[in-house]
Amino acid sequence: MFTIDTTALAALILLAAILYSSVGHAGASGYLAAMALVGVAPEAMKPTALALNVLVATLASIRYIRAGHFEWRTFYPFAVLSIPAAFIGGTINVPPTLYRPAVGVLLLIAAAHLVRSADRATQTETRQSRAVPVVPALATGGAIGLISGLTGTGGGIFLSPVLLFAGWAPTRRTSGISAAFILVNSLAGLAGTTLTLRTLPAALPLWAVAALAGGFVGTQLGSRWLPVPVLRYLLATVLVIAGLKLILT
């Protein structure tokens, strides 16, 4: 039987999936934030976030690619090294005393990126995108992939600002590229995690349904014009609350 906390977490996951998938993310940072607020055991947070990420990122990738918001030549340099790095990161179990503050800092960094990019989110649509330099992209992708596997995120929260600030992709194409990047990293990270994983939470099917429902709504919104700055400010607020909770408790 599902508890109040389990049902509340499903509602938070639904909301996170809507907000994140609307900008091409699968929601791992939001799921980690929600699980931190509800009090899910640290050892269950990473595999749960990755499993939900795979579901939402698959849906998001399909819908953004079909909408024409994807470019292979921008995607692959970041993905080549990120996939094995995410797998390696997934095999590493970080002790709770390190994991909680590490994820907390990650969420605060993600919030800072969201706030910093909010006012500029629509400006990149009118810019001419620049070609991605392969070597820096390989290094960046590898670093993000390792962080993704270690923390249970897909890395999109880091890749998106890089693409936008460097002028390598406009906003909507960034969403499509990030969705595919998150998918491959989450699959690799989850594969690595299963080598040391014992069990997943019994309520995962309920949370998966909530994540997919949120992803469907969010990706539908993402195919139209959105108040992206408002969404990013809301996401940043949630991440700051959860990040501070993880660091201070």
| DSSP code per residue over 23-52 | TT---HHHHHHHHHHHT--HHHHHHHHHHH
pLDDT band per the 50, 70, 90 thresholds, residue 226:
low
How many whole angstroms separate alpha carbon 68 and alpha carbon 235?
26
* 3 state DSSP class of 226: coil
| Top-ranked range on mean pLDDT: pick from 83-87, 89-93, 158-162, 227-231 | 83-87
In this predicted model, what pLDDT tens digit does every residue of 54-71 receive, in sequence order? 999 999 999 989 988 899
pLDDT at 220 over 60: yes
Give the pLDDT score at 155. Answer: 86
Q: Contact at 8 Å (CB) between 80 and 138?
A: yes
Share of the chain above pLDDT 70, in %: 89
Among the residue ranges 141-155, 189-203, 218-232, the one predicted with the least confidence is 218-232
pTM attached to this predicted model: 0.83
pLDDT of residue 182: 94
Q: What is the pLDDT of residue 4?
A: 66
pLDDT at 85: 94
Average pLDDT over residues 136-160: 88
